[in-house]
């Protein structure tokens, strides 16, 4: 019950990290720093009771701590990096890792850049669809 109460009051990533074990908190702080390095314009927020990062109004990535692991949630892009993630437990949009064996900074940055490109492609596709419905062409590709 304590977790439910604690999580219902989350307003910042620091609120989320504060009660975690030292090793998980350190691993997620490192991940947070790398996300900011890869995308300095991101906005921090809490979404679905997890630390999240938004860029240009769209969700970019999330992270969190489970009972026995930490997790990075970059979305459906995980499959594009399956070879580099072979040593980690993954699912469609999740990468699980142990705090003492985190993801490499280089890989995290590549995943972030791929997510930014994926969001941009989706935004452009939506613009083209709207323009097609209106019978006009978008000003930007």
Contacts of 83 by beta carbon, 8 Å cutoff, 6+ apart: none
CATH of the domain at 20: 3.90.1150.200
Average pLDDT in the chain: 89
What confidence score (pLDDT) does residue 9 get?
78
Summarize pLDDT for 94-122 with one digit per residue, the tens: 999 999 999 999 999 999 999 999 998 88
pLDDT at position 85 is 97
Q: 101: domain range?
A: 2-134
2 pLDDT more than 70: no
Q: What is the DSSP string of 62-89?
A: EEEE-SS-EEEE--GGGGGGTTTTTTSE
In Å, how far are 21, 72, 140 from 89, measured between CA atoms? 21, 11, 39
Distance of CA 27 to the CA centre of its chain: 14
Q: For residue 141, tell me if it sits in a domain.
A: no
Q: How many domains does the chain have?
A: 1
Query: Residue 140: inside a domain, yes or no?
Result: no
- Give the pLDDT confidence of 53-101 residue by residue, as tens digits: 999 999 999 999 999 999 999 999 999 999 999 999 999 999 999 999 9
pLDDT at 121: 86
Report which DSSP code applies to 21. Answer: -
Predicted TM-score of the model (pTM): 0.83
């Amino acid at each position: 019950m304590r977790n439910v109460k604690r999580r219902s009051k989350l307003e910042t990533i620091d609120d989320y990290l504060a009660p975690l074990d030292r090793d998980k908190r350190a691993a997620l702080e490192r991940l947070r720093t790398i996300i900011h390095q890869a995308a300095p314009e991101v906005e921090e927020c809490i979404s679905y009771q997890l630390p999240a990062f938004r860029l240009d109004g769209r969700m970019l990535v999330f992270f969190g701590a489970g009972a026995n692991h930490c997790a990075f949630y970059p979305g459906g892009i995980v499959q594009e990096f399956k070879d580099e993630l072979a040593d980690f437990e993954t699912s469609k949009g999740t990468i699980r890792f142990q705090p003492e064996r985190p993801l490499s900074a280089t890989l995290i940055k590549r995943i972030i850049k791929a997510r930014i490109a994926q969001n941009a492609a989706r935004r452009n596709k939506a613009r083209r669809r709207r323009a097609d419905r209106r019978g006009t062409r978008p000003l930007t590709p």
